[in-house]
Amino acid sequence: METETQDLFAEPVTPELAAKHIAAVAAHHGKNEKLAWKRKVKKMMGLIDEVGVVEQEILELVLKKQPTLDEIAILRAEMTKECIHPKDHLVHLTTCLMCKFCDKRISIPRILKAESPEVDEGEDVSQ
């Protein structure tokens, strides 16, 4: 096995010999096959150009949506700061409630105590 490998590389591969090897492989297929293949290369270049046009459009759309995303981020930050802890964003964690909108933990309202009858279910009592 090792001898075979040594035989393969016995002849030094000069740049000239390498060029001969490449030319021999490249000459293997006929003129018609080469023409058909070159037509496909040309078609592929056209398709790649089409993809480039679409990618440019995507880039323009990404840039176009950015101001709106920025506005949403600013609005969301304001809403988080002024959060009213809407009912559909509240989750009961047994020992407290959590608002999924602002990520705040809120203590459970003591609705059963007579001294705080004005406290309704779901109201923020931690602030």
* Residues contributing to the site for Zn ion (CB under 5 A): 83, 85, 99, 101-102
Which residue lies nearer to Zn ion by CB, 42 or 76?
76
Find the shortest distance in angstroms from Cβ 75 to Zn ion: 15
The residue with its CB nearest to Zn ion is 99
Work out the burial of residue 72: count CB atoms within 10 Å of its CB; fewer than 13 is exposed, 13-18 middle, 19 or more buried: exposed
Shortest reach from residue 74's CB to Zn ion, in Å: 17
Query: Which amino acid appears at position 8 of this protein?
Result: L
Per DSSP bridges, beta strands 105-107 and 90-92 are unpaired
CA–CA distance, 95 with 101 (Å, rounded to integer): 19
**Residue 55 or 121 having the CB closest to Zn ion:** 121
By beta-carbon proximity to Zn ion, the closer residue of 56 and 126 is: 126
